[in-house]
């Protein structure tokens, strides 16, 4: 299946698009437990929840509405999204097989009074729109929770549509 012709951002491939945007991916994350970071089935790639980790260390920690601002939350969402792309590249061998982001979920550690979930999640959505283009679109779920692993302020969870690997054979 070909990428939609109206999606100009994928012309030349996603790797080229990232280069043109000056976006450098971090080293792919490693699991914090007994699971894998990525799994594909058919034309979908599911990634484990990504944290805002830089150089294998949590770059932003805390709770939104307590000691983190919306702007800091947006940056954490962007970093976690870059980690998702790095995990996708590691799994697929190239980002050029990514067709679009299908679903984005952003879980946030928040106070009970915090209500700016959507603007924080825009830190992730805006990056994906920049990369895939607004016409690709994605659905999104955002919500706040009491706590997250290792003191992370948020987790970005993604499902991508991918080009099926032509070398793989159906079972």
pLDDT of residue 30: 87
pLDDT of residue 9: 37
Q: Block means of pLDDT (10 residues each) for the chain, length 171 residues?
A: 40 85 92 92 97 93 97 98 97 95 98 98 97 92 96 98 73 45
H helix runs in 45-158, sequence order: 70-92, 117-132
pLDDT of residue 166: 63
pTM of the model as a whole: 0.89
The DSSP H or E segment spanning 112 is none
pLDDT of residue 158: 98
Encoded tokens for 84: 């998702």
Residue with tokens 């915090």: 114
Q: How far is CA 64 from CA 39, 103, 146, 152, in A?
A: 30, 23, 10, 10
Helix (H, G, I), strand (E, B) or coil at 155: strand
């Amino acid at each position: 299946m070909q990428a939609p012709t109206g999606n100009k951002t994928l012309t030349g491939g996603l790797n080229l698009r990232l280069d043109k945007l000056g976006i450098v991916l971090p080293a792919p994350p490693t699991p914090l437990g007994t699971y894998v970071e990525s799994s594909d089935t058919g034309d979908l790639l599911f990634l484990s929840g990504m944290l805002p980790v830089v150089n294998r260390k949590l770059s932003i920690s805390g709770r939104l509405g307590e000691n983190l601002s919306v702007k800091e939350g947006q940056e954490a969402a962007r970093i976690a999204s870059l980690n998702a792309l790095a995990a996708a590249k590691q799994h697929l061998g190239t980002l050029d097989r990514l067709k679009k982001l299908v679903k984005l979920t952003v879980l946030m550690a928040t106070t009970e009074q915090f209500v700016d979930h959507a603007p924080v999640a825009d830190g992730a959505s805006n990056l994906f729109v920049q990369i895939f283009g607004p016409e690709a679109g994605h659905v999104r779920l955002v919500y706040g929770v009491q706590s997250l692993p290792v003191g992370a302020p948020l987790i970005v969870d993604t499902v991508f549509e991918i080009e099926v690997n032509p070398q793989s054979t159906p079972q």
